[in-house]
Amino acid sequence: MQTFAFSTVPLEPGRYREALAEPTAGGYASFEGWVRDHNEGRAVRRLEYEAFETLAVKEGERIVAEAVRRFGVTRAACVHRVGALGIGELAVWVGVSAAHRGEAFAACRYIIDEVKHRVPIWKKEHYADGDSGWVNCERCAAVADGRHVHAAEHPLAAAHRHDRIDQAASGGVPPLPPPDYSRQIALPEVGIAGQAKLAAASVLVVGAGGLGVPVLQYLAAAGVGRLGIVDGDVVEASNLHRQPLYGPADVGQPKAEVAARRLQALNPAVRVDVHAERAEASNVDALVAGYDLVMECTDNFRTKFLVNDAVLRACKPAVFASVHQYEGQLQVYRPLPHWPCLRCLWPEAPRDGLVGNCAEAGVLGPVPATLGAMQAMQALKRLLGLDAGETPALVIVDLLGVETRRLAAQRHPGCDHERPGTTPAAEEPGDAMPAELELDFETLAEAFESGLELVDIRESWERAHDPPGLQIPTHLPLSELVHGRAEFPAEGRYLIICAHGVRSLSLTEHLRSLGHPGVYSLRGGLAALKS
Ligand SMILES: [Zn+2]
């Protein structure tokens, strides 16, 4: 076991204790720090810890090594929680095994005191009526009362927000503060794990106009790791009233390039890829292949259907929107066999020019802004896995009457979805074999076409290196399910997938025992599939 570590999941003192056991040790002392429900007279509801892990781990390891040397103990270790914690949760654990109890107690006390004062960990307390902000840093408190000087000389001092004034005073250009996603991380459905999902995600935005601008701004601000902008146009003066990412000085410049610069300034942590070209039949597949999710934000039907057909071929989710005067339409596509595509709703695909676009019909800026914001919301839901129970629909937004209508959408029987060998919904597995726990599929494509929704329960790090053609959009890490931070949908038909079919089988058995009839495990996991 590492002598000092951070954990984003609940601590397991029993397991750590075993790792410290030694035949030569006659004593073991441990300290557990718990989250309590009050601090300085205020009722605390929950709290968050954040650390600059690389440097914090080094300092923590030094402290443990000092304790071992100083008190001559056998073994010692410390694990600190980071992320969102509830009342009563274990925030920090210290364990020491030693020949005798005296040095075990002393080393244990030394480690927890030094960790509190020296390891750069930020804490945010949430009260019934607000939060403390990221301010309650033990290290700063220690400096303030004169017991320690670590903060001033610590390499992390520069990164610490309390010290920003000092940097400015020292004459240099103060570095930008790191992105602060705390207001979205605070949502229990997002959390640290959700933020990590956004950071790992990539989204292609086709069209950087009235819809694309709010989509790009909100996805960049939310910390989506990589954004691709497809737009072959230049900024025109007539765009500015509804595309406020651009200004008069940008007129005549390529939109994709200007947008990328602005987004980079908005959130330097996000990578922005520029595709200063129109989406065409010749490039659309290559563009779509490089991203997890596609946002269709153009104002022409030719491109919308081009993108529709490309996401069907690539089995990628997409979010479509369009506006016409005071009305807008929103449609989400998910790569599921029963899920309707754009052509299912518009079997007679309108040709360009048949329906007025903004140039001909006129538009007020907030109309595409509203639809773009709704698209961005759908994208975040998809990336965070918050749309598991959602059914296909066409959402119509009337900005004059301020009304939203949701029309259930169905797959058009005549739409072949451009996919080879699609299986009609009636042939979904399960009805004939309710007792079967495991299903066999040769390829992921075959599994996608089974009528079951594929759910990847591997951890994020296991998914990080999946090749583009082998990505499963729906992700519910087993760790999140086990620790109650995510719930498996109570209804629906799912194929649960992990690396080798072991974790997925045990989860399937568990869900069946809870009365969920529609869950199956992919036998042998991803390792059993032919590529
Ligand atoms: Zn269709």
- Cα 341 to ligand 1 centroid, rounded to whole Å: 4
Give residue 459's pLDDT band: very low, low, confident or very high (50, 70, 90). Answer: confident
pLDDT at 172 exceeding the cut of 70 = no
Tell me which of 11-15, 220-224, 261-265, 345-349 is least confident.
345-349
Per-residue model confidence (pLDDT) at position 332: 97
Q: What is the mean pLDDT of residues 468-483?
A: 82
Instruction: Identify any residues that bridge with 202 across adjacent strands, giving them in sequence order.
Output: 226
- Cα 338 to ligand 1 centroid, rounded to whole Å: 9
Question: What are all long-range contacts of 187-191, with beta carbons under 8 Å and residues at least 24 apart?
Answer: 188/84, 188/485, 189/384, 189/386, 190/384, 191/83, 191/84, 191/485
- Cα 425 to ligand 1 centroid, rounded to whole Å: 14
Helix axes 366-384, 191-200, angle to 10 degrees: 110
Q: What is the mean pLDDT of residues 463-487?
A: 82
**CATH architecture of the domain with residue range 4-135:** Alpha-Beta Complex (3.90)
Secondary structure (H, E, C), 114-141: HHHHHCCEEEEEEECCEECCCCCCHHHH
> How is the chain split into domains, by residue range?
4-135, 201-425, 430-528
- Cα 395 to ligand 1 centroid, rounded to whole Å: 17
Give residue 90's pLDDT band: very low, low, confident or very high (50, 70, 90). Answer: very high
- Cα 309 to ligand 1 centroid, rounded to whole Å: 9
Q: Vertex 67, ends 143 and 6: CA angle to 5°?
A: 70
- Cα 499 to ligand 1 centroid, rounded to whole Å: 31
Per-residue model confidence (pLDDT) at position 434: 47
Chain segment 243-256, per-residue pLDDT in tens: 999 999 999 999 99
Cβ contacts of 426 within 8 Å, gap of 6 or more: none
pTM: 0.51
Per-residue model confidence (pLDDT) at position 348: 67
Per-residue model confidence (pLDDT) at position 183: 93
- Give how far Cα 321 sits from Cα of 205, 207, 295, 392, 394, Å: 12, 11, 8, 14, 10
CB-count exposure of residue 146 (10 Å: 0-12, 13-18, 19+): exposed
Q: First vs last Cα of the chain: how many Å apart?
A: 36
Closest to 518 measured CA to CA, from 430, 425, 428: 430
- Cα 201 to ligand 1 centroid, rounded to whole Å: 26
> Is the alpha carbon torsion for 203, 477, 120, 122 positive or negative?
positive
Greatest CA span in the chain, whole angstroms? 86
Choose from 141-150, 397-406, 411-420 the range with maximum mean pLDDT: 397-406
- Cα 486 to ligand 1 centroid, rounded to whole Å: 31
Per-residue model confidence (pLDDT) at position 33: 93
CATH numeric code, 201-425: 3.40.50.720
- Cα 407 to ligand 1 centroid, rounded to whole Å: 16
- Cα 416 to ligand 1 centroid, rounded to whole Å: 6
Per-residue model confidence (pLDDT) at position 428: 36
- Cα 529 to ligand 1 centroid, rounded to whole Å: 27
Q: What is the mean pLDDT of residues 127-153?
A: 48
Are 128 and 47 in contact by the 8 Å Cβ rule? The answer is no
- Cα 97 to ligand 1 centroid, rounded to whole Å: 64
Per-residue model confidence (pLDDT) at position 524: 86
Per-residue model confidence (pLDDT) at position 435: 55
Q: Which residue has tokens 């089974």?
A: 450
Per-residue model confidence (pLDDT) at position 337: 78
- Cα 413 to ligand 1 centroid, rounded to whole Å: 8
- Cα 342 to ligand 1 centroid, rounded to whole Å: 6
Cβ contacts of 214 within 8 Å, gap of 6 or more: 368, 369, 372, 373, 375, 376
Q: Is 522 helix (H, G, I), strand (E, B) or coil?
A: strand
CATH numeric code, 430-528: 3.40.250.10
Amino acid at 474: T
Q: What is the mean pLDDT of residues 158-171?
A: 39
Per-residue model confidence (pLDDT) at position 358: 54
- Cα 344 to ligand 1 centroid, rounded to whole Å: 4
Chain segment 288-334, per-residue pLDDT in tens: 999 999 999 998 888 999 999 999 988 899 999 999 889 999 999 99
Q: What is the mean pLDDT of residues 154-177?
A: 45
- Cα 389 to ligand 1 centroid, rounded to whole Å: 20
State phi, psi for 336 to the nearest 5 degrees.
-120, 145
State phi, psi for 229 to the nearest 5 degrees.
-115, 120
- Cα 363 to ligand 1 centroid, rounded to whole Å: 29
Per-residue model confidence (pLDDT) at position 153: 31
Give residue 159's pLDDT band: very low, low, confident or very high (50, 70, 90). Answer: very low
Give residue 413's pLDDT band: very low, low, confident or very high (50, 70, 90). Answer: confident
- Cα 278 to ligand 1 centroid, rounded to whole Å: 24
Per-residue model confidence (pLDDT) at position 531: 67
Separation between Cα atoms, residue 261 and residue 249, nearest integer Å? 14
Separation between Cα atoms, residue 147 and residue 489, nearest integer Å? 52
Per-residue model confidence (pLDDT) at position 376: 98
Closest to 204 measured CA to CA, from 324, 349, 383: 383
State phi, psi for 438 to the nearest 5 degrees.
-115, 145
Per-residue model confidence (pLDDT) at position 349: 62
Cβ contacts of 189 within 8 Å, gap of 6 or more: 384, 386
- Cα 339 to ligand 1 centroid, rounded to whole Å: 8
What is the percentage of the chain residues whose pLDDT exceeds 70?
Answer: 86
Helices and strands, counts by H and E, the chain: 19, 21
pLDDT at 198 exceeding the cut of 70 = yes
pLDDT at 355 exceeding the cut of 60 = no
pLDDT at 140 exceeding the cut of 70 = no
Give residue 154's pLDDT band: very low, low, confident or very high (50, 70, 90). Answer: very low
- Cα 403 to ligand 1 centroid, rounded to whole Å: 27
Q: Vertex 321, ends 368 and 291: CA angle to 5°?
A: 115
385 Ramachandran zone, left/alpha/beta (phi>0; psi -120 to 50): left
Give residue 132's pLDDT band: very low, low, confident or very high (50, 70, 90). Answer: confident
- Cα 419 to ligand 1 centroid, rounded to whole Å: 10
Closest to 47 measured CA to CA, from 131, 112, 120, 118: 131
Q: What is the mean pLDDT of residues 109-113?
A: 92
- Cα 8 to ligand 1 centroid, rounded to whole Å: 41
Secondary structure (H, E, C), 424-487: CHHHCCCCCCCCCCEECCCCHHHHHCCCCEEEECCCHHHHCCCCHHHCCCCECCHHHHHCCCCC
Give residue 384's pLDDT band: very low, low, confident or very high (50, 70, 90). Answer: very high
- Cα 476 to ligand 1 centroid, rounded to whole Å: 27
For the chain, give the mean pLDDT. 84
- Cα 327 to ligand 1 centroid, rounded to whole Å: 23
Written as six digits, the tokens of 328 are 């807008």
Per-residue model confidence (pLDDT) at position 167: 38
DSSP class of 250: G
Are 406 and 339 in contact by the 8 Å Cβ rule? The answer is no
Per-residue model confidence (pLDDT) at position 470: 76
Closest to 136 measured CA to CA, from 161, 110, 156: 161
- Cα 312 to ligand 1 centroid, rounded to whole Å: 9
Tell me which of 52-66, 121-135, 364-378, 445-459 is least confident.
121-135
- Cα 317 to ligand 1 centroid, rounded to whole Å: 13
Separation between Cα atoms, residue 155 and residue 149, nearest integer Å? 12
pLDDT at 92 exceeding the cut of 60 = yes
